[in-house]
């Protein structure tokens, strides 16, 4: 088996990336939604969008993806990289592809002067967490999501 190559996403990766991203969404029970794929692909292809991706490739086939972005850390006057999505094709799990993707993100963080790479995962994602526990330090932070409030202003009505 060849070594895993980690490289930036390319325009020619659309179909292979979409298959991996659908697998990622399946893992988390998200429905197949072409609009989401189009939106995220558009972000990844737009040179000024904050969302970026690196891909794991072996023997010419894409076997994994990592979506990430920079975020500021005002408390430290620094920035970090945030790993939004990491997914390895089921047939490639255990091959070192996830370790290679995380290693490349660590390199990018160093190249860009980021203080660290941060991510979250589901508490019951035991297989991934066994890797994460080997390569990173779990933080004591608890994550919350706050839903946006609906506007309390009445909707504007047309005057005609």
N- to C-terminal Cα separation, the chain: 70
Tally of residues, the chain: 160
Identify the bridge partners of residue 62 per DSSP, sorted by sequence position: 57
Q: What is the pLDDT of residues 8-40, one digit of tens each?
A: 999 999 999 999 999 999 999 999 999 999 999
pLDDT band of residue 137 (cuts 50, 70, 90) is: very high
**Is the dihedral angle over the CA atoms 35, 36, 39, 44 positive or is it negative?**
negative
Strand-pairing partners, residue 61, are 58
Q: Which two tokens stand for residue 22?
A: 């659908």
Query: Mean pLDDT across the stretch 53-58?
Result: 98
42-62 mean pLDDT: 97
Three-state DSSP class for residue 39: helix
Look at residue 150 in the predicted model and tell me its pLDDT: 85
Instruction: Give pLDDT, residue 155.
Output: 59
All domains of the chain in start order, with CATH: 7-135 (3.40.630.30)
User: Burial, 124: exposed, middle or buried (Cβ in 10 Å; 0-12, 13-18, 19+)?
Assistant: exposed
């Amino acid at each position: 088996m060849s070594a895993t190559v980690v490289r930036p996403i390319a325009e020619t990766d659309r179909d292979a990336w979409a298959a991996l991203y659908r697998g990622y969404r399946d893992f988390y029970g998200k429905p197949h939604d072409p609009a989401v794929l189009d939106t995220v692909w558009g972000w990844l292809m737009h040179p000024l969008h904050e969302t970026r991706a690196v891909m794991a490739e072996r023997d010419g086939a894409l076997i994994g993806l990592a979506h990430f972005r920079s975020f500021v850390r005002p408390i430290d006057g620094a920035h970090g990289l945030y790993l939004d999505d990491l997914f390895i094709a089921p047939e490639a799990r255990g091959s070192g592809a996830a370790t290679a993707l995380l290693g490349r993100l660590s390199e990018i963080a160093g190249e860009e002067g980021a203080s660290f790479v941060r991510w979250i995962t589901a508490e019951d994602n035991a297989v991934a967490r066994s890797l994460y526990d080997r390569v990173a330090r779990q933080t004591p932070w608890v994550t919350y999501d706050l839903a946006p409030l609906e506007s309390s202003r009445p909707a504007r009505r047309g005057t005609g």
